[in-house]
Structure formats: C-alpha cells, structure tokens
Structure 1
Amino acid sequence: MIGSVVIRWASVLLATVFGPYHPAEGGCSGQCCPGKDLTCSSLDWRSDRVYTTCYCDESCVRSKDCCFDYPTECTAQPCVVSEWTHWSGCARPCQPSYRVRRRSIEIKPQNSGQACPALEERAGCMEYQDYEGQSCGHSQGPALITTMEYSNGRIAHVVYGTPVDSGFCMEFKVESLSRHCMVENKPHTRWMQYLREGFVVCVSCQPPAISNRSHTCNGDGQSANRDTILQWQAVGNPRCRGTWKKVQKLQHCSCPSVHSFIFI
C-alpha cells in the first residue's frame, strides 16, 4: 500500500519536473474508435491531468475521460452535407399541399464531430394546375397564406393567360388567431409564430395565385370595407387560422420579413 502511494507521488513529481511520461503504447495513437467502446483505452494521462485508464472512443468527450492526446490523434470531423436540391412541385395539385427539398451526406461525422443537420425540408404550397396542365380555378374559403420565402422557389407559370399580372400587396391587421400558430417549431412552419393579434402584416398577391381575369387572389379582401372580418389559414398547418381586417392595398409590400406573407 505504502509502495503504491510512493510510486504515484513519484510519477506526479516526475511529470511536474520533466513533463508527462507516456509509454509507447499509451494515449490514442493508432486507436480512435466510433461510439462507445470500453476496450478502446490506454493507461495514460487523462485530459484532466489524472494518470489512470483513459479512453479514445467518441463517447469519452461526453464522459470526460479521454486520453490527453485524443483531440490531436482523433481529430474531430464534422458532418458535411451537399447543397439543397431545388424545391419539388406540390405533392397534390389544386389543394393546399407541401413541397420538398433534400440534401445528402457527403462526409459522415467522426470522433465526436458535429452531427448532421436535417436532410429534408418541407414547406406548404399550392399548385393552380392539375397534372394535365388544366387550370384548377380559384376555390372559395379563407385566404391561404405562407411565408414570403416561398416566392423564391415558386414556379410562376402562366395559368390565366397573358400578359402575366405583376401582382400587388395587401396590408391586414390581425384580429385573432388560433393557439396552434404559436406552438409550431418545425423548419417549414416556424414562420407561423410571428403572427400576432394587433400586428399589421403584408400579403403579396403574385402569379400564379393571381387571376388575370379578375386581378385578385382568393381571399385578398380587395372588395371588402375596412370593418369586414376576413378569414385566413396558414398552409402547412390547417389548424393555424384566424381573422384580419383590410388596411390598404399597395403596389409593393414593405413590412419586415417576418411579417411578410404570400397568397397561394
């Protein structure tokens, strides 16, 4: 017992004077193991400066028992993913639906490197042509809205003939909304959290949602007076819905991005 204590203190003294002593087979040299592997170990200095059994598996970072040279011998490789694909078309035409974009893993994470992000995103959408290319027409009901970001990848094909209407912007004051808008936290529905009672929002009416015959979008409220309560519904979560009143019609939207939406 006394002998082991003397040896331990001698090791500490030598490390203090001459630096840590590492046997040839110690540390993580030549062994970097995925996941949790209790056999992936050495007798050497840990990163917390304790000379004992240390590990070279990925889980040692969380358990804080890595060998001192784990960061240099087992260099962390973060996940590397490709660029997003283009947005797909809507899953179903002539009704509120969703579109998809994907990316793939190019380099898998290693040695506790940063994990891969989501490889698929979905966003609400609506197509105004069926699979045969025929116009679906405008449905009656609440205004269907989604984030303005949807316009970046929107297919602006001509549905109602030429010339194509350049569109306009409607401002509304939100009167009410359901609680389901506040709990959305998925990437493609997070924009719903910015809908608030009493806030003024901008909603753009653009092709192909706009009709070249009537120069309107479904539910845009152009013909309504300022006291009329109008209905709206978020695409991507049909339970996120509410009411608003028209403020004014503008040529272009000027609201902050989080309060800018688009009719679909």
Structure 2
Amino acid sequence: MGSSLEFVCWLLVAATLGTDHLTAGGCSGKCCRGRDLSCVTTDWKMDRVYGPCYCDEGCVRTKDCCFDYFTECPAQDCAVSEWSYWSGCTKPCRPTVRVRVRHIERQPKNSGQPCPRLEQKAGCREYRDHQGDHCGLNTGPAFITSIEFGKGRPKHDSYGNPLDPGFCVEFTMESRTGQCTVENRPHTLWMRYITEGFKVCVACRPPAMHNSSSCQGDGQESDKEAVLHWQAVGSPRCSGTWKKVQKTQQCNCPRQHSFLFI
C-alpha cells in the first residue's frame, strides 16, 4: 500500500513538472540561427523525452528541438511598404537623378528573408525651372535612360488632354565609353547593355518631346551619315556616339536595347 501511494505521488510530481514546463515554453525568447550548440535548454523534446533540447535552426535536422520550437521560432520574412512616388529631379533643366523609397514594416525574425533594397534611383530631367518656365531646347548630346524608367510617365497633360504617344528613332551604336561596362549601381545596370555595332531604339515621348515633333539629340535635322552624340543619365562618364537609321512609329528592339530620350 505504501509503495503504491509513493508511486502515485511520483506521478503527480512528474505531471506537475511537465505542466510547468509546457507553460513556460522551452524556446520562448531563445531562438537562434544556424547550428548553435549554446542554444540549449532543458525541457521536453519533441519525442516526449525530458532533457537537453535545442532552439536553433539545426535542431530540425538533428531532431533534438524543444517541444515548442515550431511555435516559438517560425521564420518571419521582412515586410516593406509600397514604393513612394518618385521625387523630383535634384536639379531642373539638366540631367540628374530622382529617388523613391520604401520603409520596413516588419523586421525579419528567426532567419526569415532579409529586407530588400529600400531606395531606388533613376536618371531624370525636369522640363521646367523653379519658376515654372520651360527650360527650352538646348543643343548638345541626346540624354537617354532605360525604357523601364519611363513606365511611370503621365498619360495626360495638366489639363487632362491625352498626350501624344510620340515616336521611335533607331540608331546604330558606333561607340561607348568603358565606364558603361563597369556600372554596377542598381539604377545604372542598364548601361551594360549598350554595345557597339548593335541597333538600338530610343523612344521620344512627352514630356521630353518638343513641339510634338522632336527630342533633343534625335538627329531630326542631321544627315543620315552624321555621327551624333549621346549621354546616359545617371552616369556622366557613360557616353558615346551613334548614327541614325530611321524614324518609326513604334520601337521594335529587344528590351535591353530599348531606351528613352530624357
């Protein structure tokens, strides 16, 4: 009778200890990245054995996680907001850059996906000065940027009238500086596709279009054999020359060889 009572007492103690450990949670606040042997505690394991158990990522492979690992240590990816609107160009009436940003809404947790880039830059050019007056048509090289950066352009003018869809000019690339090939900033990677000897297409669209007929440097008044100059917006040292082939209604070049007048 005495031994039976003692056995029951031990069961009650074990049950109480088990309940206390389940309530405390072995991995609560102890989650670790990778395989970390110091990330250990003493509690119930997932195989219902009480003893040393781990709260690092490696425990999933070695099957020695604490019982609450998957509850306390789920991976949580970084969450970010939508991109803000593009800022204005830093300097009007000349090629420069514009910026847009996004913000972290949730930090990654337990080896979740890290946060992506929070800032994006693109070449741009304002067509009015600080007083609101048109900058005018300046002589000089054609300023170009990637066709990707033209997606956000307005489809209507300030009065709500549809904008002229513009036209396309095809050129044969004659030369480009070596700086184009080594650009590695996110907003200048497109310059690596500027290759000598290839045909490229450059779209002339509002607001870069002047008087609904031309863009700066499009070669409209130049002889077909004339060598014209261009410059990439976003990297002043990436520039070169090209020869005009023809003017078309639509651009029909591969995307990596399609650009936009600025």
TM-score for the superposition, normalised by structure 2: 0.75
Which aligned segments of 4 or more residues in structure 1 are displaced greater than 4 angstroms? 33-40, 43-46, 52-55, 64-67, 69-72, 155-159, 162-165
SS of the equivalent of 1:118 reads coil
**Correspondence for 2:249 among 241, 248, 251:** 251
One-letter amino acid of the structure 2 residue matched with residue 251 of structure 1: Q
The count of corresponding residues between Structure 1 and Structure 2 is 229
Q: How many angstroms does 1:44 deviate by?
A: 8.5
Q: 1:230 to 1:66 in 2, by over 3 A?
A: farther
Look up the match of 1:14: none
One-letter amino acid of the structure 2 residue matched with residue 167 of structure 1: G
Within 5 Å, give how 1:113-262 maps onto structure 2.
Answer: 113-155=112-154, 165-212=164-211, 215-262=213-260
SS of the equivalent of 2:242 reads strand
Look up the match of 1:97: 96
One-letter amino acid of the structure 1 residue matched with residue 210 of structure 2: S
TM-score for the superposition, normalised by structure 1: 0.75
Gaps of at least 5 residues in structure 1 are 1-23, 47-51
Q: Would the aligned equivalents of 2:166 and 2:206 in 1 still touch at CA under 8 Å?
A: yes
Q: How many angstroms does 1:150 deviate by?
A: 2.0
SS of the equivalent of 2:151 reads helix
Q: How many angstroms does 1:55 deviate by?
A: 5.4
Q: Which has the larger radius of gyration?
A: 2
Q: How many angstroms does 1:184 deviate by?
A: 1.6
Q: How many angstroms does 1:154 deviate by?
A: 2.6
CA distance in 1, matches of 2:108, 2:63: 18
CA distance in 2, matches of 1:129, 1:92: 10
Q: How many angstroms does 1:53 deviate by?
A: 7.4
CA distance in 1, matches of 2:64, 2:222: 72
State whether structure 2 residue 77 is matched by structure 1 residue 86.
no
Q: How many angstroms does 1:74 deviate by?
A: 0.7
Q: 1:143 to 1:73 in 2, by over 3 A?
A: same
Aligned-residue RMSD, C-alpha: 3.3
Q: Would the aligned equivalents of 1:31 and 1:56 in 2 still touch at CA under 8 Å?
A: no
Q: Percent identical across equivalent pairs? A: 54
